[in-house]
Amino acid sequence: MQIILVGFMGVGKTTAGQLLANTLNEPFIDLDVEFTKVTNLTPGEFMRQFSEARFRDVEQRILKMQLEQPQAIISSGGGVLTLATSQILIQRSNYYVIYLASNFDINMARLKGDSEQRPLMTELTDQGLHELWQMRQTHYQEVADLTVNTNGLTPQEIVAKIISKIDEEQMHG
């Protein structure tokens, strides 16, 4: 199976992705982990040391490489769709795109203790984060084959919902 999870930072892409990969017995790829393997810096460290533009360029090259995997569950970075060319790469791939959506306030509550790993949490005001969240929603919706609302759901419930929707689509599609 070829699935890529998209959504705002803190929505649970990595946790749900690992669980989904284990459940479906597929390899799991976390783009942020792959980024760190390639650059020897976390995305946060890289952005602080260089720039977001340079980060997005490297991230896109890693995305392109990973989309060539014949089978995988991929967890993307929250801003992977920032570059239009990354959106096109995902849309042209054979990967089924699942958008994990959540309420902004729920998302922010999940992120509060994790700002060290997420430069945008310290660089932007709450208003700035909300504007970024709103802007990215459009990008996620544009590429999504399936949207799963994660509000109030455990990772196990998110995965059960994804599998149920995929099974449903395979039966009717």
Q: How many CB atoms lie within 10 A of CB 4?
A: 27
pLDDT digits (tens, 9 = 90+) for 51-98: 989 999 999 999 999 999 999 999 998 889 988 999 999 999 999 999
On whether residue 72 sits in a domain, the answer given is yes
- Distance between CA atoms of residues 85 and 97, nearest Å: 16
Q: What is the pTM of this model?
A: 0.91
pLDDT of 130: 87
Chain length of the chain: 173
Q: Does the annotation flag 85 for ligand binding?
A: no
- Domain membership flag for residue 77: yes
Residue 10 counted as an annotated binding residue: yes
**Assigned domain for 173 exists:** no
- Asked if residue 37 is part of any domain, the answer here is yes
Within a domain: 107 = yes
Residue 151 resides in a domain: yes
DSSP bridge partners of 73? 3, 28
Domain count along the chain: 1
61 known member of a binding site: no
Per-residue pLDDT of the chain (173 residues), as tens digits, is 999 999 998 899 999 999 999 999 999 999 999 999 999 999 989 988 999 899 999 999 999 999 999 999 999 988 899 889 999 999 999 999 999 999 988 877 777 666 555 555 566 677 888 888 898 999 999 999 999 999 989 999 999 999 999 888 777 66
Please give the structure tokens belonging to residue 11: 């929505």
- Distance between CA 78 and CA 4 in Å, rounded? 12
Residue 113 lies in a domain: yes
> Does 56 count as an annotated binding residue?
yes
pLDDT recorded at residue 9: 85
User: Which pLDDT belongs to residue 82?
Assistant: 86
Q: Is 80 annotated as a binding residue?
A: no
Which range of residues forms the domain containing residue 64?
Answer: 2-168
Is residue 132 situated within a structural domain? yes
CATH number at residue 32: 3.40.50.300
